């Protein structure tokens, strides 16, 4: 399943947003040949009686960055949270359709949700370090998943902090509280915490929206580095950011996937009128 060829996307393409044509065939050809890490098939999502996602079929190729863009409330964050079943903790929600990770349905009965979330990590909009020391924050996931012995811990923590480009800034105060870090450092600490458990996919929900431009630049640089090892999905409100960091971009609108294509193509020659209107700032 993981080698799913993209022609499937065409047949199961998401219902079009009002006034939009079905997903263009261009998206299909651009994904061809890429190994697919995650995939949703005809995914519907409901908050109680309100349907938030309509018929989303999307493939996420591995070891690259896929960006989700769209106006507020378009469902991009909801969809992102479907990929690690984070919506499960919200009462009265319902999912229809499949989400595949390496070909296995994560909503299937055999899924261990704890293992799933270890494999699909997440970084949140607002940095959420635990009120513990810097070291303990990074070690947390390793500890609860039993991934490292006490002796291995310092090494693993250092590796994670280096990957998050934070090591040099915090190596002398690993035992200090994480709450004392700056906003940008806190967010990179959360990234370090997430990559420490060696996830396959890293979901990022507007990771820079609370950061200043310099911190944003650092995180973007980091994303660029991390895509060599991880499959990254990033939700962003900032279209320049999507253009800078991602190889593929998916445009969401009113709970539907309007267009999914190579970022370059989507921004320079969008297949849908509505996409063009959005990226040129004519609405939203």
CB nearer other proteins, residue 1 or residue 114: 114
Does residue 149 contact residue 174 with C-beta atoms inside 8 Å?
A: no
The footprint of other proteins on residues 138-197 (CB under 8 A) is: 140-141, 144-145, 176-180, 190, 193-194, 197
At closest approach, how far in Å is the CB of 68 from other proteins?
A: 17
CA-to-CA separations, 252 to 9, 53, 157, 218, 236, in angstroms, rounded: 16, 10, 37, 27, 11
* C-alpha atoms less than 13 angstroms from C-alpha of 259 in its C-beta half-sphere: 26
Task: Figure out which of the listed residues 44, 128, 209, 238 binds other proteins, where binding follows CB under 8 A.
Answer: 128
Give me the least distance between CB of 25 and other proteins, in Å please. Answer: 35
The span from the CA of 166 to the CA of 186, in Å, is: 10
CA–CA dist 243, 264 (Å, integer):
7
Q: Taking CB under 8 A as the rule, does residue 51 contact other proteins?
A: no
User: How many helices (H) and strands (E) in the chain?
Assistant: 12, 10
Find the shortest distance in angstroms from Cβ 261 to other proteins.
28
Q: Which of residues 67-106 bind other proteins (CB under 8 A)?
A: 84, 86, 89, 91
With CB under 8 A as the contact rule, which of the stretches 113-121, 161-169, 233-241, 270-278 interacts with other proteins?
113-121
Nearer to other proteins by Cβ, of 13 and 181: the residue is 181
Least distance to other proteins, CB of residue 118, Å: 4
Phi, psi (deg, nearest 5) at residue 55: 55, 50
Residue recorded with tokens 């990226």: 279
Q: Which of 35, 94, 126, 171 contacts other proteins by CB under 8 A?
A: 126
- Strand runs labelled E in the chain: 36-47, 50-61, 65-69, 93-101, 104-105, 120-123, 201-205, 231-235, 248-253, 256-262
- CB of 47 or CB of 217, closer to other proteins: 47
CA distance 261 to 259: 7
* Distance of closest approach, residue 45 Cβ to other proteins, in angstroms: 17
- Give 64 or 177: the residue with its C-beta nearer to other proteins: 177
Is residue 124 within the footprint of other proteins (CB under 8 A)?
A: yes
Angle at Cα 70 formed by Cα 184 and Cα 259, nearest 5°?
Answer: 125
Contacting residues toward other proteins, per CB under 8 A: 84, 86, 89, 91, 114-115, 117-118, 121-122, 124, 126, 128-132, 140-141, 144-145, 176-180, 190, 193-194, 197
């Amino acid at each position: 399943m993981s080698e799913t060829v993209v022609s499937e996307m065409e047949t199961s393409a998401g219902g079009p947003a009002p006034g939009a044509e079905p997903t263009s065939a261009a998206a299909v050809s651009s994904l061809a040949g890429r190994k697919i890490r995650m995939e949703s098939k005809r995914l519907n999502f409901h908050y109680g009686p309100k349907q938030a996602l309509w018929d989303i079929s999307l493939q996420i190729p591995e070891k690259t960055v896929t960006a989700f863009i769209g106006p507020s409330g378009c469902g991009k964050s909801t969809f992102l949270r479907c990929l690690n079943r984070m919506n499960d903790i919200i009462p009265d929600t319902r999912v229809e359709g499949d989400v595949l990770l390496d070909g296995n349905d994560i909503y299937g009965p055999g899924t261990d949700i704890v293992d799933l979330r270890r494999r699909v990590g997440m970084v949140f909009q607002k940095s959420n370090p635990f009120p513990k020391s810097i070291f303990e924050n990074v070690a947390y996931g390793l500890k609860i998943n039993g991934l490292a012995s006490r002796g291995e811990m310092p090494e693993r923590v250092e590796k994670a902090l280096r990957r998050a480009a934070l090591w040099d800034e915090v190596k002398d105060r690993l035992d200090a509280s994480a709450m004392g870090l700056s906003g940008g450092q806190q967010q990179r600490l959360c990234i370090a915490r997430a990559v420490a458990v060696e996830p396959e996919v890293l979901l990022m929900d507007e990771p820079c929206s609370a950061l200043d431009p310099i911190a944003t630049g650092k995180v973007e640089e980091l994303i660029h580095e991390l895509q060599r090892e991880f499959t990254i999905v990033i939700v962003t409100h900032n279209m320049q950011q999507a253009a800078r960091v991602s190889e593929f971009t998916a445009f969401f609108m009113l709970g539907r996937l309007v267009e999914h294509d190579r970022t370059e193509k989507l921004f320079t020659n969008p297949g849908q009128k509505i996409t063009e209107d959005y990226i040129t700032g004519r609405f939203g």
